[in-house]
């Protein structure tokens, strides 16, 4: 097998709904796409494609650390990340060099067209390439300076974590959550921001982030709050809170509504 030397080759790690959508966009834009599946030999693939134009990591949040650990060092200069719940602490220790970050504000379910809540936000050296892909599949996006991306990442984290976790109790849509469960919404959002602040190690502009979350509510008022991943999202946040010795009273109350034992208490 010969080396794939096209300077335009794009490697996509993970071909779920999100990865497939990006792959379709890149193909429509004229770029060859090389998929990385669960059983793909990374070292062999790197020998065949040593200098891709982009390596898009489109796996779920729970798989990100494992994938980045296995990622060939030669690809770490052209990496793009597209996960929810993403923060710099999740990838900095993997020696990625100036990664491109995509804060996704669209929903893609199997067999259905994508639905955008807000324009997705892109920053980093490969931002224009990512935007080309999204343009081809009709997904609105905007590019921002890299120093603004942390705010955008946390705004999306606040949105997805708050609606999923609060939705365990409230059910329904984000407009229902806003109109009928305001105290629950605010309590969950407060706890989520407490954890996010500790993870990034700096004081966050909470009022601006909360307003940014509400923009997401207004962008798609009928968006359902609780997806199937909601309990896993709650579990991850509570583990982070326990590890960081943070108080999260509203999250704890939501966890009590779930029937199974949810998370062991951390050390005293």
Q: What is the pLDDT of residues 183-230, one digit of tens each?
A: 999 999 999 999 999 999 999 999 999 999 999 999 999 999 988 889
Per the structure, the count of domains in the chain is 2
Are 54 and 90 found together in one domain? yes
Which of 86, 119, 144 marks a domain boundary? 144
Per-residue pLDDT of 165-183, as tens digits, reads 999 999 999 999 999 999 9
Q: Are 91 and 99 in contact (CB under 8 A)?
A: yes
Tell me, yes or no, whether 63 lies in a domain. yes
Give the residue numbers spanning the domain of 164.
Answer: 150-256
Tell me, yes or no, whether 103 lies in a domain. yes
CA distance 125 to 80: 9
Are 174 and 102 found together in one domain? no
Lookup result for tokens 């994508």: 114
Structure tokens that stand for 52 in this block: 């891709």
Per-residue pLDDT of 94-126, as tens digits, reads 999 999 999 999 987 777 778 899 999 999 999
Q: Quick check: pTM over 0.85? A: yes
Which of 97, 120, 144 marks a domain boundary? 144
Per-residue pLDDT of 44-76, as tens digits, reads 888 888 889 999 999 999 899 999 999 998 899
Are 97 and 21 found together in one domain? yes
Structure tokens that stand for 61 in this block: 């949040």
Tell me, yes or no, whether 183 lies in a domain. yes
Which of 118, 144, 170 marks a domain boundary? 144
Tell me, yes or no, whether 1 lies in a domain. no
Are 118 and 216 found together in one domain? no
Are 33 and 122 found together in one domain? yes
- Kindly report the CATH number assigned to the domain that includes residue 202: 1.10.1040.10
Tell me, yes or no, whether 48 lies in a domain. yes
Q: Nearest-CA neighbor of 252 among 194, 191, 206?
A: 191
| Secondary structure letter of residue 31 according to DSSP | -
């Amino acid at each position: 097998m010969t080396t794939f030397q096209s300077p335009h080759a794009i490697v996509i790690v993970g071909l779920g709904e999100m990865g497939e959508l990006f792959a379709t966009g890149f193909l429509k834009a004229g770029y060859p796409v090389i998929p990385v599946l669960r059983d793909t030999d990374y070292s062999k693939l790197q020998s065949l494609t040593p200098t891709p134009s982009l390596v898009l990591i489109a796996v779920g949040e729970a798989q990100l650390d494992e994938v980045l650990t296995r990622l060939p060092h030669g690809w770490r200069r052209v990496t793009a990340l597209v996960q929810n719940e993403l923060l710099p602490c999740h990838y900095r220790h993997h020696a990625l060099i100036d990664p491109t970050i995509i804060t996704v504000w669209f929903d893609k379910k199997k067999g259905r067209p994508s639905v955008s809540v807000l324009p997705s936000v892109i920053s980093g050296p490969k931002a224009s390439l990512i935007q080309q892909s999204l343009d081809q599949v009709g997904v609105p996006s905007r590019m921002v300076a890299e120093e603004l991306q942390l705010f955008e990442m946390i705004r999306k984290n606040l949105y997805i974590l708050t609606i999923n976790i609060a939705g365990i109790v409230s059910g329904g849509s984000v407009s229902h959550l806003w109109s009928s469960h305001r105290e629950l919404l605010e309590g969950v959002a407060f706890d989520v921001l407490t954890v996010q602040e500790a993870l990034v190690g700096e004081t966050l502009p909470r009022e601006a982030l909360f307003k940014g979350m509400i923009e997401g509510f207004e962008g798609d008022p009928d968006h359902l709050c609780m997806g199937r991943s909601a309990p896993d999202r709650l579990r991850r946040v509570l583990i982070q809170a326990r590890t960081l010795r943070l108080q999260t009273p509203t999250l704890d109350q939501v966890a009590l509504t779930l029937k199974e034992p949810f998370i062991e208490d951390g050390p005293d």
